[in-house]
Amino acid sequence: MRERYEPAEVEAAAQQDWAAAGTFTVREDAARPKYYCLCMFPYPSGKLHMGHVRNYTIGDVLARFMRMQGFNVLQPMGWDAFGLPAENAAIENGVAPAKWTRDNISHMKRQLQALGFGIDWSRELATCDADYYRWNQWLFLRMLERGIAYKTTGTVNWDPVDQTVLANEQVIDGRGWRTGAPVERREIPMYYLRITQYAEELLGALGRLDEWPERVRTMQANWIGRSEGVNVTFPWRVAGRAGELRVFTTRADTIMGVTFVAVAPEHPLAELAAQGDPGVRAFVDECRRSSVMEADLATMEKKGVATPLSVTHPLTGADVPVWVGNYVLMAYGEGAVMGVPGHDERDFAFAKKYGLPILPVIDVEGRGYSTDAWQPWYPEYGRCVNSGAYDGLDYAAAVEAIALDLESKGLGRRQVVWRLRDWGISRQRYWGCPIPIIHCPACGDVPVPDAELPVRLPEDLVPDGSGNPLAKSKAFVECRCPKCGAAARRETDTMDTFVDSSWYFFRFACAGNDRAMVDGRASYWMPVDQYIGGIEHAILHLLYARFWTRVMRDCGLTAVDEPFRRLLTQGMVLNEIWFRKPASGRIVYYHPSEVADGRLKADGQPVESGGVGTMSKSRRNGVDPQELVDRYGADTARLFMMFAAPPEHTLEWSDEGVEGAFRFMKRLWKTVHAHVQGGPAAPVERAALDAAQRGLRRQAHQALAKVGDDIGRRRTFNTAIAAVMELLNAIARFEDASPRGRAVMQEALELVVLMLSPFVPHAAHAMWRALGHATMVVDEAWPRPDPAALEQATVEIVVQVNGKLRARVQVAAGADEAAAREAALADPGVARFVAGQTVRKLIYVPGKLVNVVV
């Protein structure tokens, strides 16, 4: 063992030893309990960022810890390799997305290896490989057969200059990101997956995901959005035509307060009205031109237009005018609402603006209602008034009575409506998984036969920003109809990349099978025991994966329905933001390393602080993990990230903090070095130790118990590391070169190395060898705390008088209340506060505390 800690040398040697032994290559083994530890796979954007390092360090610590607990641990890694950035890079640099992606993968793989993650690389996959995405296509065809996948028209953002479809993130302030042209809405045919069919199950099962963060479960529940209500029919008749307008409402109790109905601009009734009314036509067309994004819709002014149509109130028979409103969403419920201005804020505003009558029909605890101005309590539940037969009923009774009456007339039924919508997976993009459909002029849309899968994506195309290069590739598009053999066109849309990430965890478990999507190996490994990734995937990715897994289950491919048993969402990595705002021109950002005490090092002039924020290229506050590893080694980088904050919190970058972690590594190394210079130590003779030796031994075993609990149960890696630091501080104070002292020292250092080995595996590997072991520390079992070491003859208890801390006294370990009372009252510090008063009561918490109440 060298005296100096040389991370580069230590880390290369450890990695070589692991590789030579095939340490992380795992096989299914029915005799051992399995543990599948998975981190969300990265998008190969170029190089690793700090968020990756944090994510994969958390996973690696858990994987190594569980391995030491005796589990057969699988920790795989792959690449979420399809997506828009590869096309953008192609547009900028003229490089094919395939080459760009694969170059990035090989670079990032080397970086991951340098960080020492215990990954089974034999299972690596990239979603852009045909032997992966062929199974996307295969399962898509099964979904078509089962009616889970279907085709219908959908709305997209259309850039009229580039003649291309834009993703939502390519629309900036309603304009195309490259052309600046106002974006239009377009209706085009797209494929959808019927996730709504699984809404009830996806929502219900959230309750059983008790090892997921509450936050994520709530977010998913809100997203799925279950509403119970009544679907009400308003019949209409106009110029010889008749029909029924349906609306959904959760407030059937207010139905007697309906003074208008409003339909979405895309609603068939709006179209009908527009045919005979230029005013309505103009309004509907205006709505169509506005943004497709709902966030924008929400902030738009509420506007509407009256139509010449009216409908019949299902209970009163009154005529109710039909309006078209821009605030009515076609995609939710029936695309139409009943207007109850008395008790709905939007309807109230709408009625005020257009002079529609406002009729209060709910009385809330006798509070006075005025139609002059909206009051926040107007939508509260109460008793029906102005409602004929329903007067006096409360919310539940009124809904019940009204639903029954509507049902008996055939003009309504109770209904559950979901906010969740079906998943549109068609993307008019090149770099994605081709949708395996052939369009035949005679046979229509024909699925590609299984035997012809995969439909391979040509890898030599270079997008130029206008349209989808696939559509321009004759070799790809032109084909024969599988049914009739006639000339046909291949579908050029590709799948949403969320499809790729919805089942990759199954594929890791049965890598390399070219005959089936999954096999028996997947039933050994699945479900994933611990999944780790960013909170930004709390809704879409995790919901799609839960859905896709259920589809696989219903296709008989797996018995699992929840893919991820336990979920950890790690916080983001933040850094300081510094900038200057010139009088004219754009804000200039400075890297925190260029700034000291609020001044730019280069010119000594002040810069403005933007607080802390996520590391990003645009704000120039990123820290490159590579520089960190080059300078301090992977172990220090890993240690700092795990120590600086609990895994779910945001982590503020601190160069000083990294220095602190490095200092700790050097101190630990030096301590081990100094110890092993003394030659081999004898085994600990438990019975023959003096007080100081027993003390260190107790601290070591206490730390061991805490660290095991912190990693295994609490996942508070920061406190685990703090406990080891505390132990090392105690070790440093322990100066005892006697044979017995050296034996205790040897044991304590071995425990430190074992406890730290999940965090700093390379240094632990070297120090374990230095401490005299032929084995690799990575193969060691997690030690059990020795109960004998934890025993104490006396314990310190705190003494309070009236709840205020007044003294600490030593009592025998198993002391009863009488003994504790005696010791407490005998203490002079306590006596001072008790003197002259009567002890009314005495609380004793054994081994901890006495509270004297006077």
Q: Contacts with RNA in 642-661 (CB under 7 A)?
A: 643-646, 649-652, 654, 656-657, 659-661
If one asks whether residue 288 binds RNA (CB under 7 A), the answer comes out as no
Q: What number of chain residues touch RNA (CB under 7 A)? A: 88
Map the footprint of RNA across residues 834-853, applying CB under 7 A: 841, 843, 845, 848-849, 851, 853
Least distance in angstroms from the C-beta of 333 to RNA: 4
Least distance in angstroms from the C-beta of 93 to RNA: 31
Map the footprint of RNA across residues 406-445, applying CB under 7 A: 417, 419
Q: Which of 335, 454, 469, 761 forms a contact with RNA (CB under 7 A)?
A: 335
Structural tokens at position 15: 């990695």
Give the rounded distance of the alpha carbon of 50 from its chain centre. 17
CB nearer to RNA: pick between 587 and 732 = 732
If one asks whether residue 2 binds RNA (CB under 7 A), the answer comes out as no
Which range of residues in 295-303, 403-411, 433-441, 576-584 is near RNA by CB under 7 A? 295-303
Map the footprint of RNA across residues 539-578, applying CB under 7 A: 539
CB nearer to RNA: pick between 521 and 806 = 806
Q: What is the DSSP string of 105-150?
A: HHHHHHHHHHTT----GGG-EETTSHHHHHHHHHHHHHHHHTTSEE
Map the footprint of RNA across residues 236-265, applying CB under 7 A: 247-251, 264
Structural tokens at position 738: 């006697």
Least distance in angstroms from the C-beta of 296 to RNA: 9
Least distance in angstroms from the C-beta of 732 to RNA: 5
CB nearer to RNA: pick between 225 and 467 = 225
If one asks whether residue 483 binds RNA (CB under 7 A), the answer comes out as no
Identify the three-state secondary structure at position 171: strand
Q: Which of 181, 329, 397, 443 forms a contact with RNA (CB under 7 A)?
A: 329
Is the previous residue joined to 527 through a cis bond, with omega within 30 degrees of 0? Answer: yes
By the 10 Å C-beta count (0-12 exposed, 13-18 middle, 19+ buried), 321 is classed as middle
Map the footprint of RNA across residues 96-115, applying CB under 7 A: none
Map the footprint of RNA across residues 525-544, applying CB under 7 A: 535, 538-539
Least distance in angstroms from the C-beta of 374 to RNA: 12
CB nearer to RNA: pick between 445 and 659 = 659
Q: Which residues are paired to 850 by β-bridges? A: 799, 844
Map the footprint of RNA across residues 810-839, applying CB under 7 A: 829
If one asks whether residue 664 binds RNA (CB under 7 A), the answer comes out as yes
Map the footprint of RNA across residues 261-280, applying CB under 7 A: 264
Least distance in angstroms from the C-beta of 793 to RNA: 17
Identify the three-state secondary structure at position 811: strand
Name the phi and psi angles at 29, rounded to 5.
Answer: -145, 100
Map the footprint of RNA across residues 786-805, applying CB under 7 A: 796, 798, 800, 802-805
Tell me the longest C-alpha to C-alpha distance in the chain: 108
Q: Which residues contact 688 (CB under 8 A, 6 or more apart)?
A: 740
CB nearer to RNA: pick between 92 and 244 = 244
Least distance in angstroms from the C-beta of 569 to RNA: 10
Q: Which of 136, 326, 387, 426 forms a contact with RNA (CB under 7 A)?
A: 326
Least distance in angstroms from the C-beta of 514 to RNA: 38
Whole-angstrom Cα distance, residue 83 to residue 167?
Answer: 11
CB nearer to RNA: pick between 245 and 644 = 644
Distances (CA, A) of 349 to 252, 326, 353, 356: 20, 13, 6, 10
589 close to 577: Cβ distance less than 8 angstroms: yes
Whole-angstrom Cα distance, residue 629 to residue 614?
Answer: 21
Pairing of strands 528-534, 564-570: parallel
If one asks whether residue 621 binds RNA (CB under 7 A), the answer comes out as no
If one asks whether residue 218 binds RNA (CB under 7 A), the answer comes out as yes
Distances (CA, A) of 381 to 166, 333, 363: 44, 22, 8
If one asks whether residue 672 binds RNA (CB under 7 A), the answer comes out as no
634 close to 11: Cβ distance less than 8 angstroms: yes
If one asks whether residue 327 binds RNA (CB under 7 A), the answer comes out as yes
Map the footprint of RNA across residues 690-709, applying CB under 7 A: 706, 709
CB nearer to RNA: pick between 328 and 518 = 328
Burial 527-551 (b: 16+ CB within 10 A, else e): bbbbbbbeeebbebbbbbbbbbbbb
If one asks whether residue 300 binds RNA (CB under 7 A), the answer comes out as yes
Identify the three-state secondary structure at position 445: strand
Least distance in angstroms from the C-beta of 343 to RNA: 9
CA-closest candidate to residue 122, choices 429, 575, 521 = 521
Estimate the crossing angle of helix 739-756 against helix 761-770, to 10 degrees.
Answer: 160
Q: Which of 667, 673, 694, 740 forms a contact with RNA (CB under 7 A)?
A: 667
Whole-angstrom Cα distance, residue 578 to residue 387?
Answer: 63
Whole-angstrom Cα distance, residue 197 to residue 428?
Answer: 26
Count the neighbouring beta carbons within 10 Å of the beta carbon of residue 214: 8
If one asks whether residue 4 binds RNA (CB under 7 A), the answer comes out as no
Q: Which residues contact 497 (CB under 8 A, 6 or more apart)?
A: 80, 82, 83, 127, 427, 432
Map the footprint of RNA across residues 699-758, applying CB under 7 A: 706, 709-710, 714, 716, 718-719, 721-722, 725-726, 729, 732
Pairing of strands 34-39, 72-74: parallel
Map the footprint of RNA across residues 339-378, applying CB under 7 A: 344, 346
Which range of residues in 146-154, 328-336, 386-394, 599-607 is near RNA by CB under 7 A? 328-336
Least distance in angstroms from the C-beta of 145 to RNA: 30
Structural tokens at position 604: 């000594």
358 close to 365: Cβ distance less than 8 angstroms: no
